[in-house]
Structure 1
Amino acid sequence: MLTIHQLSKLYGPTAVFANVDLAVRPGEFVAIMGESGVGKSTLLNCMAGLDTWDSGSVQVDGAELSTMKDDAKAALRREKIGFVFQAFHVLPHLDVAQNVALPLLLLQRKDDARVHTMLEALGLGALGSRLPQQLSGGQLQRVAIARALVHSPRLLLADEPTGNLDPSTAAVVMQALVGQCRQHGTALVLVTHSSAATAQADRVLRLTAQGMRSDGALG
């Protein structure tokens, strides 16, 4: 589903990361760890074609992102990728249900039942008519996750999805993310510092400036 080969990203003469190789199969959950500033979020952005890189390749479902025009990459993201941003990126003028339904709207697929299912799965069932400014940070995070899941993406990218959540709510979120991965064959790549999240992963990798390696703590 996702194949990265010898990917390198520079800021001026400095390598953010270099020579990253990664392949993620459908239905596989890969967790990525690393020190702050090593480029984990930037790497996720490259996986979605939201950022550029200096050398190497990124393929999503067989499509090479570096050769695609911006509109083609946007279409690929709409159809096949779900992205959970650290900063939420919910639209303030839309209520919770409308924010969650946005990926379906962009695909011209109206499915109120699916939106309701995702809201319930993430403990937001009673909040569908609220505006974002009426929600807590943890609730906004769950809205962002429901939106990323609602269109059943082939590839799900999540940047610290439980970082703003208490342990019990984080467990609910991880259940929804891993459930999507296992039940629908979604490839899941999650950047996290949470040991509870990495415990559920098929593989835990550590990103360094020199590349990607298996996390030594897990063998």
Structure 2
Amino acid sequence: MLHIRELTKSYAGAPVLRGVALDLGPGEYVAIMGESGVGKSTLLNLIAGLDTPDGGRVVLEGTDLTRLDDDERTRLRRRRIGFVFQAFHLLPHLTVAQNVALPLALNAIEDGGRVEALLAAVGLAGKADRYPRELSGGEAQRVAIARALVHRPALVLADEPTGNLDPVTATQVLAVLREQLERDGAAAILVTHSERVAATAQRTYVLGPEGLVPRDP
């Protein structure tokens, strides 16, 4: 489902990623760990087509993102990828429900109760009409997770998805994420510094100068 080979990226001549490779099948859920500054967020951005690599390939469901132009990558990302940003990126002028429903609107998908069900699943059933400024950091993170899942993407990318959550809520949100992935047959890549979060994944990799290295169980 996802095939990455020899992915490289530099900024201002400084290498960030070197020869990264990864294969991910439908329903697989992996965690990526590593020290700050090694390029974990950069890797997610390249997989999502938000940035372009200097070399290598990112193939999602048979489509090589590196061969697409900006508009084509945007259309593919809207349809097939859900992204949980570390900084939430909620739209301040939209309510919680409208933020979650945004991927449905962009893809012309009927709600069918998806927004209400996901808000309930992440513990925000009574806050659909609130605005982002009225939410705590943890609540905003849960809205971002619901938004990433609502259109049932093939691949979910999450950058520190539990970084703003208390341990109880983090456990709840991870359980929701796993349930949705299993239901839809989607795959997920989570970037995290948390050993507890990484332990919920099927596989864990460490990103470093030598690329992505499987961590010993």
- Under a length normalisation based on structure 1, what TM-score does the superposition of the two structures give? 0.97
CA distance in 1, matches of 2:185, 2:76: 17
The aligned residue for residue 10 of structure 1 is: 10
DSSP 3-state at the match of 2:171? helix
Query: Percentage identity across aligned positions?
Result: 55
The aligned residue for residue 167 of structure 2 is: 167
Name the aligned partner's letter for residue 21 of structure 2: D
The aligned residue for residue 146 of structure 2 is: 146
The aligned residue for residue 129 of structure 2 is: 129
The aligned residue for residue 86 of structure 1 is: 86
> Once superposed, what is the RMSD of the aligned Cα atoms?
0.9
The aligned residue for residue 20 of structure 1 is: 20
**Divergent runs of 4+, >6 A:** none
For structure 1, which segment, 91-100 or 175-184, has the greater mean C-alpha deviation from structure 2 after superposition?
Answer: 175-184
Q: Is the 8 A contact 1:57 1:65 kept in 2?
A: yes
The aligned residue for residue 209 of structure 1 is: 209
The aligned residue for residue 37 of structure 2 is: 37
| Unaligned residue ranges in structure 2 (runs of 5+) | none
DSSP 3-state at the match of 1:20? strand
DSSP 3-state at the match of 1:213? strand
Task: Note the C-alpha offset of 1:108.
Answer: 1.2
Task: Note the C-alpha offset of 1:200.
Answer: 1.5
| Unaligned residue ranges in structure 1 (runs of 5+) | none
CA distance in 2, matches of 1:27, 1:59: 17
CA distance in 2, matches of 1:56, 1:153: 24
DSSP 3-state at the match of 1:126? helix
DSSP 3-state at the match of 2:170? helix
Q: Is the 8 A contact 1:15 1:209 kept in 2?
A: no
The aligned residue for residue 184 of structure 1 is: 184
DSSP 3-state at the match of 1:94? coil
The aligned residue for residue 51 of structure 1 is: 51
Q: Find out whether 1:69 has 2:69 as its counterpart.
A: yes
Task: Note the C-alpha offset of 1:12.
Answer: 2.8
Task: Note the C-alpha offset of 1:112.
Answer: 4.9
